[in-house]
Structure 1
C-alpha cells in the first residue's frame, strides 16, 4: 500500500478561477501565469486544462516554456524574466515565444539578432519595485530603439510589476501607478501590469493584458477579504491519513524537542506528512488540520515524514482517518499564517514525492 499523502488537483476549480479573472476584467486578455510548475500544481496539466480559454501563458524560464511546447501547448508563452543568455534567442524564435526585456544586455542581444520572423518583446518598466526593468527616465529611449528595429521586433508592450497591490496601505501602489501612467501616456503603449491582486482589486490597472497568477489556484492574494461577489475555489487539496494514535497522560511531551506538552490526558494522531513533503516545519502549535472533516490543532514540531495532531475531541478518529492539510474546507492562506509565511510558499514548496491526482471536470 502506498504512503497515503496525495495532492488532489481540481482542474474544474482552476477553470472557475480563470473565469473569475476574465469576468472582472472583460476588456483585458488574461494571460495565465503557470511558472514554478503552475505554483506547484503541475504546469502541463494546468495548461492543458486552460488551453481552450487562455490566449497565452507566462513562465519564468525557457526550460519551463520548452516543457509546455513538448506537451503540445500552442499558445504564445511569455518569458517573464526574458532570456538568461544570448544563445537562448534562437530557441525563443524557434518556439515562437514572447520575451520580456528588462536589461540593456538583453536589449542589445535582441537588436543584434537577425530573426527569420519578428520577435515579440515586452519592455519592462521599473515603476518602483526596483527589481527588474528600466527606470522612467531611460524607458522611452529603449522603447524607441526597439521601435526602430524594423522587422526584427513587433508587438511592443509595456510591462511592470506592483510591489504592494495586495496591501491596504495604497501609498506605494499609487506612486507606481503614477509612474506607469506617465510613461504609458507618453508612449501610448499597451499595458500588462495587473497581477492577481491588481486584477482582483484595482480595475484601473486592467490593461490590454492582465496576468493572473496565484488567484488561479484559489489563494487570496489580498491583505483583506476578496471584493464582494467574488469567490475563488481551492485547486489543490493536500490529503493524508492517520497512521497511528498515541494515548498520553497529562504532562507528556510530543515531538522533537518536547515543544508541546499535554495539559490533560490526550489522544494524539500521527499523520503521514512532514517537511519532506513540503509541509512547513515552522508550523506553530495550533495550526489547523481537518481530521475526518473536523478541525484539529497541530501539536509539536513537524518532522520530515510525520506530524502530530490533537484528536482528543474526536473519539471515533483513528488509524486510517482522512486528514486535510490544506485545500477544500481549509484554505492554504489560513495554514500559511500559522507558519508565518504566505500561501505561495506552501503551494510551490510541495515536493515531487507527493503524487498529484488530477480531477477533471
Structure 2
C-alpha cells in the first residue's frame, strides 16, 4: 500500500475547540466546511458533537452529510441557501441559515414554515463579498423579525484582514458593525470573530465566535500572538522514502532539471506529489522531516513523487518515515515557502488515506 497518510489527532482538535471557546467567552461555532479543511468533516464533527455549540458549513450538501452521519447539533449554512427549493430541506433537517442578500429576505417572507427558525443576518462591513449594506440592514432585520416564526436571530459580519495585526481596516469594520447594531433591539446576539479575529482582536469576541483554521492547529497571523501559541496541530502528513540515489556534482534532478547538484548528493525519493495535494511549485529548500530530522526539498515536485536531500542523513533509507507537515513541521511554515497558505494545503489534499487517533 502506498505509504501516504494523514494522521488526524482528534484530541488536539477538541483541545483547540476548547481553547477557542474559552477565548471567546461565549458560544463557539466549529467551522467544518470543505471537509473540515481536509481533516474529514464527519469524523471531526463526531469528535466535537455534544461539545461544540454548533457547526458551520458552506452549503446544504455539507450539512446533509453531517445529519446523515448522526450529528444532531445545530448546523449553520454559512453561504445561506442558493435557491428557494432548499428551504424545505433546511426545515426538514433543522438547520440554521445565514441570510446575506435581499432576495433571501424576500424568499423567507414568502415561506410558510412548520417550525421556528434561527437566522444569522449578515452585514457587509467592508469585505464586499456577501452581506447586506449598512443602509439596508436594520430594515431587513425588522422584516425577518416581523415574520414571527424567525425565533432567534444573530447579527454577523466577516473580517477581510484580521490576520494583519497592524491593519486599521479591522477596527473600521468593527466600528461599522457596532454602528449597525445600534439600530437593532438591545441584547441582540452577535458574531464577528473568525479564527484571526478571535485570537488577535479581543473587541471582536461577541456572543458567538466562529473558529475555523485555528481548530486545526494553525493560523496565518502576521505577528506573534499569545493566543496562537496554545494551538496543537491536528494533522500530520506522512509518507516514506521509497528509493535512494547517489549522484555526483553537476547532475540535474527531476523535470526540467531546475536543480543541479553542487557536489556529491544523496537523494531520497518520497511517495508524495501534487496529485496528493502537495504544492506543485514548492521550491527547492522547502523544509521536510526525514526520520524526524530536518532536510530540504530538491528538484521539482512530480505528480506522485518528490525528492529530498539526504546528504546529511546517512541513516535514512528506503522505508524511513517522512513528515511533510505536522507537529514537528508547522504547515504554515511549509505554506510560506510555497507562496501558499495553510488553508490551501490542508483543504487541497487528495488521494491521502486518513488515520484517526489517538
TM bracket, shorter-chain basis: over 0.9
Deviation at 1:104, TM superposition (A): 1.2
Between the aligned partners of 1:208 and 1:185, the Cα distance in structure 2 is 16
Q: CA deviation at 1:52?
A: 2.6
Task: Confirm or deny that 1:131 pairs with 2:129.
Answer: yes
Out of 160, 166, 172, the residue aligned to residue 175 of structure 1 is 172
Deviates more, 1:330-339 or 1:180-189: 180-189
Local SS of the residue matching 1:357: strand
Q: State the partner residue of 1:226.
A: 225
| CA distance in 2 between partners of 1:98 and 1:68 (Å) | 13
RMSD between superposed Cα atoms in Å: 1.0
Range with greater deviation from structure 2 (47-56 or 242-251): 47-56
Count of paired positions: 356
Alpha-carbon shift at residue 221 of structure 1 (Å): 2.8
Distance in 2 (CA, whole Å) between partners of 1:240 and 1:115 is: 51
Deviation for aligned residue 1:341: 0.9
Q: Matches of 1:15 and 1:229 in 2, distance apart?
A: 15
1:98 aligned residue: 96
| Partners of 1:238 and 1:266 in 2: CA distance | 25
Which stretch shows the higher mean deviation, 235-244 or 153-162? 153-162
Quote the Cα distance in structure 1 between the aligned partners of 2:94 and 2:165: 39
Per the alignment, residue 120 of structure 2 pairs with 122
Instruction: Say whether the 8 Å CA contact 2:245–2:266 is kept in structure 1.
Output: yes
Aligned residue for 1:271? 270
> Pairwise mapping of residues 44-83 of structure 1 onto structure 2 (< 5 A)?
44-83=42-81
Deviation at 1:17, TM superposition (A): 0.6
Residues 118-149 of structure 1 show CA distances to partners (whole Å, capped at 9, x for unaligned) of 22111110000000011111111111111111
C-alpha distance after superposition, 1:9-31 (max 9, x if no partner): 000110111111012222x1011
Partner secondary structure for residue 30 of structure 1: strand
Return the alpha-carbon distance in structure 1 between the equivalents of residues 41 and 224 of structure 2.
28
Any conservation in 1 of the 2:219–2:228 contact (CA below 8 Å)?
no
Cα distance per residue 1:160-186 (max 9 Å; x no partner): 100011102321111111100111122
Matched residue, 1:297: 296
Contact map agreement 2:285 2:298 (CA 8 A) in 1: yes
CA distance in 2, matches of 1:229, 1:286: 26
Alignment of 1:39 with 2:37, yes or no, is: yes
> 1:325-357 CA distances to partner (integer Å, 9 max, x unpaired)?
001100000000011011110000001x21000
- TM-score scaled to structure 2, two decimals? 0.98
How far the C-alpha of 1:204 sits from its partner, in A, is: 1.3
TM-score by length of 1: 0.97
User: Structure 1 stretches (4+) deviating beyond 2 angstroms?
Assistant: none
Write the deviation string for residues 273-323 of structure 1: whole angstroms up to 9, x where unpaired.
Answer: 000100010111100000000001101110000000001000111110100
User: For 2:203, what is the secondary structure of its paired residue?
Assistant: helix
**Structure 2 equivalent of residue 313 of structure 1:** 312
- State the Cα distance separating 1:228 from its structure 2 match: 6.0
Which residue of 1 is the match for residue 110 of structure 2? 112
- 2-side partners of 1:126 and 1:156: how far apart? 17
Query: Does the 8 A contact of 1:31 with 1:212 survive in 2?
Result: yes
Unaligned runs of 5+ in 1: none
Q: Deviations over 1:45-99 (max 9, x none)?
A: 0001111310100000100000000010000100000001110000000000000
1:158 is aligned to 155
What displacement does 1:233 show? 0.7
Mark the runs of 5 or more structure 2 residues left unpaired by the alignment.
none
Tell me what 1:217 maps to.
216
